[in-house]
Structure formats: structure tokens, C-alpha cells
Amino acid sequence: MPNLDFTKEYFTMKESDAIEYAKTVLNFFDEDAVLTCKEIGDGNLNYVFRVVDEKNNKSVIIKQAGPVARISDDFKLSPDRNRIESEILKLQYSLASGLVPQVYKYDSVMNCCTMEDLSDHVILRTALLNHNKFPMLADHITTYMVNTLLLTTDVVMGHKEKKELVKSFINPELCEITEDLVYTEPFFNCERNDIFEPTKPLAEELLWKDNKFLLETAKLKFEFMSNAQSLIHGDLHSGSIFVKEDSTKVIDPEFAFYGPAGYDVGNVVAHFIFAMVNAEATMEEGAEKENYLAWVKESIKNTIDMFKDKFFKLWSEKATERVAKYEGFDEYYLNNILRDTAAVAGLELCRRILGIAHVKDVTTIEDTEKRASAEKFCLVYGKELVMNREAMLDGKSYLDLIEKCKR
Amino acid sequence: MPNLDFTKEYFTMKESDAIEYAKTVLNFFDEDAVLTCKEIGDGNLNYVFRVVDEKNNKSVIIKQAGPVARISDDFKLSPDRNRIESEILKLQYSLASGLVPQVYKYDSVMNCCTMEDLSDHVILRTALLNHNKFPMLADHITTYMVNTLLLTTDVVMGHKEKKELVKSFINPELCEITEDLVYTEPFFNCERNDIFEPTKPLAEELLWKDNKFLLETAKLKFEFMSNAQSLIHGDLHSGSIFVKEDSTKVIDPEFAFYGPAGYDVGNVVAHFIFAMVNAEATMEEGAEKENYLAWVKESIKNTIDMFKDKFFKLWSEKATERVAKYEGFDEYYLNNILRDTAAVAGLELCRRILGIAHVKDVTTIEDTEKRASAEKFCLVYGKELVMNREAMLDGKSYLDLIEKCKR
């Protein structure tokens, strides 16, 4: 094999190239390493190479941005998202160490990022489809969110420093995907939507014909486009979270930019709801199902309540902005985040049912009637979250609304 | 005189240097031009050279950013604001031609901008201190605001293009000045405040001790720091507006960045109020005073009402964003701007009385009792605007509130 030059010009790597890259560019493996590599990407936008030295029990992940996003030919993405991702991971590692993978190297020529191998973890969505419980998950994910979200706001960060981060992480292409797929297309009869046949009449009656609901989605879209509040992950669903029993790692922050903090929290809540409807439709009745559902609901409740508690605690320790200490401002600020959380959870529930990008939690429900029923719940619950977002100020209100929407 | 080199390194120009610059760098004057120059800056941040060829009746303005802002030693500003200003002027010229000066050249080495000479105009503040009326002013300034503000929002502009503008006009240093001087310092006993002795007890009682008011100022500060809505001027007081009878030109957009649209509208309203209190305190009773005050109040009313009318009209012609066309969204969006308008007008009224930067409209009122009374009105009216901003949805409400605050 001729020597590859990784310093001149970008090309998309194959597995053998990734091994060569690890040998010649990274200063990570031992001299006597015997390297093997597998491309393990299941996302839409990147190639993910796992390079392993079994001899010395060391491994890394090399994640390379493809020249064109794989999600669809409609979305052309520049590989700058890989720079954004690497820098965000480093920043988040400093804010929430242990909860994101460590980055070893970012390579601006090859548009790839070499980072900690998390192969002892599993993707949360896969684990949830297997109905596995993770008692520490809500605790971990709320620590991650509070630290990455609050510590990057004007409440804590110097305002000039924050503005430099806003500038550095302007992310037009990835934001456009969210603006289209989350905030726009699911709410009219858009060609790119992908709707389960039995759900179509409900989408039309419940959502598309309700002008009051549509107006709220427009307000929320503009909030997403204009509110430079926190450096958010921007895509925090259960496919972006690695778990094992005692560890949680958030990956794939390529959608990151300065946006509304509640966007991340709302995504976490929505994907717990998907886990819930999956379990309800696919698990056999019995104690295991009850236990699992109890854990999912407890996780939803804890996601909100632990977020609140940790948010106030970190605020009291870290707030630097003088006016943020005015009486009542912390509560006002948090309530806005909780309002956004509910709304985003609601939109996410709707868009994963109606839009182009579905979730396996729902699509793997084989029984047509059960799937239709699960989808109906997601749309009804989602709409309620959007319309009543002002009232969703604690974890209990999410559980109460579940009961209300089942009746 | 040795030949000056304007291409290598920045230096602050003297009048003779500006002539040399005009001769050797600009391709503007005729060959037989006889140039004279005067530095006419009265602002705090820049040197303004007027270079004239009386022989051929041509002239230009060369505006150079000083290496350090003159406003105070506390504020160190990079000359990048001059790039921002030149680019903004060009952009605004394309959006609202005739209402901003034409830019001939921006020079990134000398940090200077060569532009249309507006010496046949006068600074609006000066004209208002002379109690001159400009019947077209509200019409012109609302056209300027609607065009520059609405056309740079996500309602009209492509969202990726808008994000590039957001990035290009991140303006940390100038925004910090506003954050400190408008939103923070006037609302506590800050050393840098400069308060007329008789006004001190009122500042304390009316504002500093009112936690509900303080909470609103904090909300508004965060709105200013986070809401990337429109490419705003950022300093649209009557010292940034040139007028003659049939012409209005907005200058000095060096504070420009993507912020809340209402910030500009609120500034215009506040400085009409200053003109009003000046006239009330300094003009002799009689028809002239009544006519002048009637014009000022009419201008306040028209600023709001014409802004609204033109805003809806331009929206219906230019909106491109699909969800912005949902029923009720235009009204929701405009009402948010009007709410911000009232709040910013209120804060501006307070901060020009209490903070470091005063307005001549008030400081030139020689009679102590009359000045104290004018200042009291500004604080009382300003606070009302902040606290009741939700209700300030038309021009009449501003005039009604004037009457209420006088009682």
C-alpha cells in the first residue's frame, strides 16, 4: 500500500485508511500495537471508525464527517460541523467531565475527530428497546444538562466571552435541518413527511387544522431561531446518549449552537415518552413491565425535578451577572426554560411521528392497532405539552398529563 | 511634508493627514481641487474629518475610529467597530436608500470610512434644542426602522443568510457598553452614575428600592443580550440622526448587532420625550410653544402608529418564512416589538437621567426646579413604560400616559 498523505487534502476514509491514520498521525497506540478497524456508524452524517489494539487493550474512535450528509440528498452539509463537534466536546468535557467522551485530536484537513472509545457502553435507544433500566440515568443527564446549559449562559459566563462562543458556533446548516424537520414540515401536508397510514386523519384533524396550535409552533420556531441563551447540544435524543449501568456519556453534538436551553431538556423528556409507549405496546403484562414503566416515568419526573434542583444550586454557586441576582430572577429564568422544555418535548413527539425522521421505539411496534394507538398518544400528549407549556413546571405535571391523555 | 503611507499601519489622523488621504487614496475629488479640512467630531468614539473642495463644490466625510474610545478610560474599544459601521451603512443603504449616508470607501488599515457629506443637514438634537419642527421626521424615521429592522429578520431573510449576518455583526465591546450603561448601572447606587442632586432621593425611592421594577430591568437586559431578532442600529438617539426640512439621514451605527427590534424604536420615542420636557421647561408660554409641543407629541404618536402600519404592509409584501404567515403571527410578532419598544424607551429615559451619559435636552435646563421636575417626569414616565409595556400597543397610549404621569 502506498503511503497515504493525511496532511494535504480531505478524502473519505475506509477502514484500512483509518488504521493508517491511527499509526501515522495519532500519538496514541503503543509501538507494538496490532490494529484492527471497523466502521460502526449508524448515524446519517458521519463515518465512525473504531480502531482497536487488542494486544495492549487500547482503542479509539475516529469520527469523520462525510462530504455530504447521508440523511437525504436534500441536505447538503459542509464538514465544518466536525470542527464544531470537536470543539463542543472539549468545552463540554470541561463543564461536565465524565459525561462526554474525551477528545484526543481534531484534524481540520481530514475533518475528523479522534476520541475516547465508548464501546463498553451501549446506545440508550438500543437499551430502551430492550427495556433495560438505568437507575442513574436521570441523575447523570440532568447534571450534564445543567452544567453545559447554565454555565454557558450570560448568567454565569462573561458576556464578551459568551458572544465569542455564539459567533464561533453559529451553525446555519444544521439549524436549518431542525427548523425544517422539527418546526415546520410536520405541521402541514409536506411531501417529505412520512406518516403511518392510520395516523393521517388524526394529524390533519388534531394539528394541521388547528390554527391556534399552528400559531404556537410558529412562535416556537422563532424562539429557536433567535434566542441565543445557552450552548445547547441540539440533538439530545436517546441515540445521542451512551449508557452503561454506572455511566452516561453524551455524544454527537454536531447540531450544537447557542439556542434555547429547554431544547435539550425537552428532547430528553420526549424520548423517555417514546420508550414508554414502546414498552406499553410491546412488553407482556406483568411485574417486569410494571417495573420498567415505573422506572421510565420516574425518569421523566426526575429529569424535570433534578434539573430544577441542580439548576438553582449551580445558579447560587456560579451566577456572576449582577442583575441575575435580583429577587425572583432565577425563578423567572428557570420557568422560561421549563416552558420551552414542555413545548420542545411536544414538538419532538409530533415530528418523530409525522416527519421524515422516525424513532425505532415506535416503528418497531408490529401490531398496527397498537402502533396507531402509540402514535395517537404521542400526538395528543405532544399537542397538550405545546398548548399548556406554561403550566408544566414540575415533574409531576408531566405524569399527570400522561394520565389525562390516556383517558 | 513627507509622503504619508496610508497602506501599512494605522495611525490617528490630523486634519492635514485627512487632506493627504483624500488626495492620495480617495478617487473622489477633481484634479484641480483645493482641499480644506476640519475635524468636526462631537461624539465620543471617533474622529470626523470634513474635507471640502470649495472650488468644485464637493465634499466628503472621513470618519476614523480612534484607537481607544473617548467616552471614558473604562471602555477600551477595538477599531473593528468601524468595519461594522461601514458594512452596516452599506447594508442599510440597500434596505432604506436615502435614509442613511452613502459609503464611498472603507479602509481597514486606517480604520476609516469615507462617506457622503451631510453638512447641509443638522444633528436632530441640536435642532430640537432650537425647537425646530420637522414634519416629515416621523414618516422618514419609521420607514428607516421598518425597512432595516423587518427586512433583516427571519420573517423575510433566508435563515442561513441571516445567521451569517448575526455572526458578522457580533459586537461584544459596544454591547457591553449598553449592557452596563443602559441596563445595569442606573438601577443601583453605582459610582459611575452622575445624578443631579435634587433627583437622588427619587431615584432611590422610585427605582432602586422597587424589587418588582428591578426584576423587569433584569428580564430586559437578558432580552437585549439573547434575542437575535433584527440587525438593529443600537444607538438611535437624536444625536444619531441628521435632518433638514425634507430629509432624514441616520448615522453612527457602530453599536449595531442582531438584537431586539424594539430597541431602536424605543430610543426614538425616548428622545422625543426629552425634546418635550426641554420645550416645556425652556420655552416661553404661547402659541409657538403649543405648536412645537403639539408637533413633538404628534411625532411620538406617529412613530408608533406609522411603524405599525408600515410594518404590516411590508410584512405582507416581503414575508418569506412559511410559518410567519400563520394566522395571528404578524400581530403576535409586532406586539412583542411594541412591548420591547415601551420598555426600552422607559429604560433610556431613566438611564439618561441617572447614568454616565446625559442629554443636553435636560442638562441645559438652567432653572433647578424646572430641571428637577423634568427629570422626575422622565423617571416616573420611564418606570411606567417598563411596568406597563404590555399595554403600550399604539401611539395614543403613549400620549395618554404622558397626561397620567403629569397628574
What ipTM, to 2 d.p.? 0.93
Which cell goes with B316? 405582507
Domain harbouring A379, CATH code = 3.90.1200.10
Does one domain contain both A343 and A244? yes
Does one domain contain both A90 and A158? no
Residue A43 has pLDDT above 70, yes or no: no
Residue B223 covered by a domain = yes
| Residue B266 to residue B374: CA distance in whole angstroms | 19
Tell me, what's the pLDDT at B73? 53
Does one domain contain both B260 and B214? yes
* β strands within B135-256, DSSP E: 230-232, 241-244, 247-250
Do B170 and A179 count as a contact with CB atoms less than 8 A apart? Answer: no
B363: CB partners within 8 A, 6+ apart: B371
| Cβ neighbours of B215 in A, within 8 Å | 326-329, 332
CB B30 within 8 A of CB B56: yes
Q: In angstroms, what CA-CA distances link B63 with B3, B110, B125, B169?
A: 21, 10, 20, 19
Higher pLDDT, A346 or A2: A346
Does one domain contain both B107 and B127? no
Q: Which residues of B touch A (CB under 8 A)?
A: 154, 159-160, 163-164, 166-167, 170-173, 175-176, 179, 183-184, 187, 211, 214-215, 217-219, 221-222, 225-229, 322-324, 326-329, 332-333
Chosen for mutation from A170, A263, A347 (greatest number of chain B CBs closer than 10 Å) is A170
B164 CA: distance to closest CA in chain A (Å): 8
| Residue B60 to residue B63: CA distance in whole angstroms | 10
How many Cα atoms are found within 13 Å in the side-chain-facing hemisphere of B72?
9
Does one domain contain both A175 and A284? yes
Does one domain contain both B104 and B134? no
Does one domain contain both A208 and A228? yes
Within B70-135, where are the H helices? Answer: 80-95, 124-129
| Residue A19 to residue A110: CA distance in whole angstroms | 14
Neighbours of B270 (CB within 10 A): 29
Does one domain contain both B278 and B340? yes
Instruction: Classify residue B10 by burial, with Cβ atoms within 10 Å: 0-12, 13-18, 19+.
Output: middle
Nearest Cα neighbor of A61 from A13, A8, A133, A10 is A13
Question: For chain A, how long is the longest CA-to-CA vector?
Answer: 68
**Considering CB atoms only, which of B170, B183, B323 is closest to A218?**
B323
A31: CB partners within 8 A, 6+ apart: none
CB B377 within 8 A of CB B281: no
CB B385 within 8 A of CB B349: yes
| Residue A146 to residue A136: CA distance in whole angstroms | 16
| Residue B271 to residue B370: CA distance in whole angstroms | 18
* A303-A309-A314-A320 Cα dihedral, nearest 10 degrees: 110
Tell me, what's the pLDDT at A320? 98
Does one domain contain both B237 and B361? yes
Among B116, B133, B153, where does a domain finish?
A: B116
β-partners of residue B242 are B123, B249
Residue A68's pLDDT band (cuts 50, 70, 90): low
| Residue A103 to residue A100: CA distance in whole angstroms | 9
Q: Are strands B112-116 and B58-65 parallel, antiparallel or unpaired?
A: antiparallel
Q: Which amino acid is at B50?
A: R
Does one domain contain both B136 and B242? yes
Residue A379 covered by a domain = yes
Sheet containing B58-65, strands listed edge to edge, beginning at the edge strand earlier in sequence? B35-39, B46-53, B58-65, B112-116, B103-107
Among A116, A134, A152, where does a domain finish?
A: A116
Q: Tens-digit pLDDT profile for chain B (407 aa)?
A: 456 788 888 899 999 999 999 999 998 999 999 999 999 987 667 899 999 999 999 999 999 987 765 555 555 566 677 788 899 999 999 999 999 999 999 998 999 999 999 999 999 999 999 999 999 999 999 999 999 999 999 999 999 999 999 999 999 999 999 999 999 999 999 999 999 999 999 999 999 999 999 999 999 999 999 999 999 999 999 999 999 999 999 999 989 999 999 999 999 999 999 999 999 999 999 999 999 999 999 999 999 999 999 999 999 999 999 999 999 999 999 999 999 999 999 999 999 999 999 999 999 999 999 999 999 999 999 999 999 999 999 999 999 999 999 87
Helix axis angle for B368-387 and B395-406, nearest 10°, is 130
Question: For chain B, how long is the longest CA-to-CA vector?
Answer: 68
**Considering CB atoms only, which of A184, A219, A329 is closest to B322?**
A184
In this structure, of A134-143, A182-191, A388-397, B74-83, the range with the lowest mean pLDDT score is B74-83
Nearest Cα neighbor of B170 from A254, A168, A400 is A168
| Residue A70 to residue A82: CA distance in whole angstroms | 14
| Cα A102 → chain centroid | 18
Sheet containing A58-65, strands listed edge to edge, beginning at the edge strand earlier in sequence? A35-39, A46-53, A58-65, A112-116, A103-107
Do B170 and A183 count as a contact with CB atoms less than 8 A apart? Answer: no
Among B61, B90, B116, where does a domain finish?
A: B116
In this structure, of A36-50, A71-85, A151-165, B38-52, the range with the lowest mean pLDDT score is A71-85
Domain harbouring B35, CATH code = 3.30.200.20
- What is the torsional sign of CA A240, A130, A300, A270? positive
Do A159 and B175 count as a contact with CB atoms less than 8 A apart? Answer: yes
Which cell goes with B211? 424589587
A326 CA: distance to closest CA in chain B (Å): 6
Residue A4's pLDDT band (cuts 50, 70, 90): confident
H helix or E strand, kind and range, residue A250:
strand A247-250
Residue B182 covered by a domain = yes
pTM for the full predicted model: 0.94
Nearest Cα neighbor of B255 from B46, B99, B10, B40 is B46
Does one domain contain both A111 and A144? no
| Residue A17 to residue A21: CA distance in whole angstroms | 6
Helix axis angle for B262-282 and B368-387, nearest 10°, is 150
Residue B371 covered by a domain = yes
Domain that holds residue B53: 15-116
**Considering CB atoms only, which of A163, A176, A217 is closest to B323?**
A217
Q: Is A112 in a helix, a strand, or coil?
A: strand
Domain count, chain A: 2
Does one domain contain both A161 and A300? yes
